[in-house]
Structure 1
Amino acid sequence: MLPTPISARFSQRSPKLGGGITASTAYHRHGRSRARLDVLLTRARVTNLGLILLGSFAALSFLVNLSYYLSSSCAPGVVAFGHPPGSILDTIEREDEVKGLSHLILVPGHGIWKGWNEEEKLDEEKWVLEQYQLGGGRVSAWVKHIETGAELALQDENSLLVFSGGQTRRNSTTTEGESYLRLASQTGMFKPNHRGISDLEPFRRATTENYALDSFQNLLFAIARFHEYTGRYPELITVVGYEMKRKRFTDLHRAALRWPADRFHYIGIDPEKEAPSARNGERQNGYLPYTRDTYGCHDELQQKRRSRNPFFRYHSYYTSSPDLTGLFDWCPGTPEGGPTVLYPGQLPWHKPR
Structure 2
Amino acid sequence: MLPAPVSFSKHRRIFRRNLPASPRRTFDILLTQARVTNLGLILLSCFAAFSFLYNLSHYLSHPREPLHSSPISIASTLSRPRAIQNLTHLIVVPGHSIWKGSNSHLMRNEDEWILEPYQKKGGRVSAFISHISRGAELALNDEHSLLVFSGGQTRSESTTTEAESYLRLALSSNFLQTLPIDPPSHQTHPTALPFQRATSENHALDSFQNLLFSIARFHEYTGRWPEHITVVGYEMKRRRFEELHREALRWPASRFTYVGIDGKWEGTVAQKGEFQNGYNPYTQDMYGCHSGLLFKRRSRNPFSRFHSYYTSSPELRPLFDWCPDVWTRLFKGPLPWDALRRS
TM-score (norm 1): 0.77
2:87 matched to which residue of 1? Answer: 101
1:139 matched to which residue of 2? Answer: 125
Q: Deviations over 1:243-278 (max 9, x none)?
A: 000000000000000001000000000001113200
Aligned: 1:113 with 2:99: yes
- Which of 202, 218, 232 is 2:194 aligned to? 202
Percent of pairs identical after alignment?
Answer: 58
Aligned: 1:44 with 2:38: yes
Whole-angstrom CA distance in 2 between matches of 1:188 and 1:316: 29
Do the aligned partners of 1:41 and 1:48 also contact (CA within 8 Å) in 2? no
Do the aligned partners of 1:164 and 1:209 also contact (CA within 8 Å) in 2? yes
Aligned: 1:244 with 2:232: no
Whole-angstrom CA distance in 1 between matches of 2:149 and 2:199: 6
Q: What is the one-letter code of the residue matched to 2:330? A: L
Q: How many residues align?
A: 293
CA gap 1:255/1:199 in 2 versus in 1, 3 angstroms: farther
CA gap 1:279/1:42 in 2 versus in 1, 3 angstroms: same
Whole-angstrom CA distance in 1 between matches of 2:113 and 2:74: 35
Question: Segments of 4+ in structure 1 off by > 4 A?
Answer: 38-43, 48-51, 193-196
Do the aligned partners of 1:191 and 1:199 also contact (CA within 8 Å) in 2? no
Do the aligned partners of 1:40 and 1:47 also contact (CA within 8 Å) in 2? no
RMSD (Å), alpha carbons? 3.0
Whole-angstrom CA distance in 1 between matches of 2:111 and 2:130: 18
Q: Deviations over 1:2-43 (max 9, x none)?
A: x9xx9xxxxxxxxxxxxxxxxxxxxxxxxxxxxxxx999999
Q: What is the one-letter code of the residue matched to 1:345? A: G
CA gap 1:289/1:199 in 2 versus in 1, 3 angstroms: farther
Q: Deviations over 1:158-204 (max 9, x none)?
A: 000000000000101110000000000001112246999x8743210
Aligned: 1:272 with 2:267: no
Whole-angstrom CA distance in 1 between matches of 2:216 and 2:181: 28
Aligned: 1:184 with 2:176: no
Q: What is the one-letter code of the residue matched to 1:98? A: I
Matched ranges for 1:303-314 at <5 A: 303-314=295-306
Q: Report how far residue 306 of structure 1 moved.
A: 0.2
**Structure 2 spans left out of the alignment, 5+ residues:** 5-31, 53-65, 183-189
Q: Deviations over 1:312-333 (max 9, x none)?
A: 0000000000000000000001
Q: What is the one-letter code of the residue matched to 2:171? A: S
1:83 matched to which residue of 2? Answer: 69
TM-score (norm 2): 0.79
